[in-house]
Amino acid sequence: MLNSSGILLHIAGLWTLSTLDASAKWLVLAGVPVLMVTWVRYLMHTALMTAVVLPSQGPALFKTRSLSRQLTRGVLMVLSTILFFSVLRRLPLAEATSLNFMAPLFLMAMAPWLLNEPHRLHRWLGVLTGFAGVLIVVRPGSPLDPIGVALGLLTALTFAFFQIATRRVADDPPLTTNYYGGLFGSVALTLALPWFWEVPQLSAGQWLLLMSTGVTGFVGHLLQIMAYSRTQATLLAPFSYLQIVAAATLGWLAFDQLPDLTTAIGIALICLAGFAVVLWETRMTIARTMKQK
């Protein structure tokens, strides 16, 4: 039976994280340094987890089977955030989000070598279809910043490595992994403060928006954890592509930016490639489960 509450929590988490992205885009366009936005985002996230989660979990929150793997994941998490916020400075929200959807396709392409998974034709077809969508989005004559596009693809590649690192700490509780990611980001960026510290000239409302990035990041990830605790990942995966709807809507409302028809076709092709592969993988998983019964 399909668990609708898990699906609704997943979608709510995606919209919340898109709100974080829209806030970050507004802030970097207002002149706030990317590293400053990232630092506040992780600092608030860690503070909220410490206040809300640590009292109930206690020392168990810090127990991990591999601290080095958690730190590796933390490095990739912070790097992907910095890169994506840099992309948001240069590209509209919908286009930036769509390029990030190349991450699962990159992951599938690398899985045979990095995760010892078998080569599968449908995965490679998905990767090629996704790249075709990217080529349409960045076609000659496209108004998109080529540096932003390059950074977008680099973000997707980094996020794919982040997903691999996340799989390698799967034996740890999700809250532990989430806490270590935020904690590492807070500590690393705090140590780097002398190299990027700059107090932006913001109004009270703008400071509130800056602080909210940590809140939306915390709430978005918490909703995702709750969703995955109620519903299988294979059932939730196809709904992840609804985030492009959130990104396009928020891009239109906050920045009056909507993709043109050709760009929308490219974005749809990227999402269709990932969606089709996810459905095929889900079908294979169900078939294997039926055979084992």
Q: What is the pLDDT of residue 233?
A: 65
Q: What is the pLDDT of residue 268?
A: 87
Q: What is the pLDDT of residue 1?
A: 44
Q: For residue 189, which amino acid is it?
A: L
Inter-residue contact 252 to 87 (CB < 8 Å): no
Q: What is the pLDDT of residue 47?
A: 94
Measured in whole angstroms, the distance separating CA 264 from the mean position of its chain's CA atoms is 20
Q: Which of 27, 5, 46, 16 is nearest to 185 (CA)?
A: 46
Helices (H), the chain: 4-29, 34-52, 54-57, 67-90, 93-100, 102-114, 121-137, 146-167, 174-191, 193-196, 204-230, 233-236, 243-255, 261-292
Q: Which residues of the chain have pLDDT under 70?
A: 1-3, 115, 117, 199, 232-235, 237-238, 293
The C-alpha atoms of residue 44 and residue 250 are separated, in whole angstroms, by 23
Structure tokens at 139: 């076609």
What's the Rg (C-alpha) of the chain?
Answer: 19
Is 168 strand, coil or helix? coil
Q: What is the pLDDT of residue 70?
A: 93
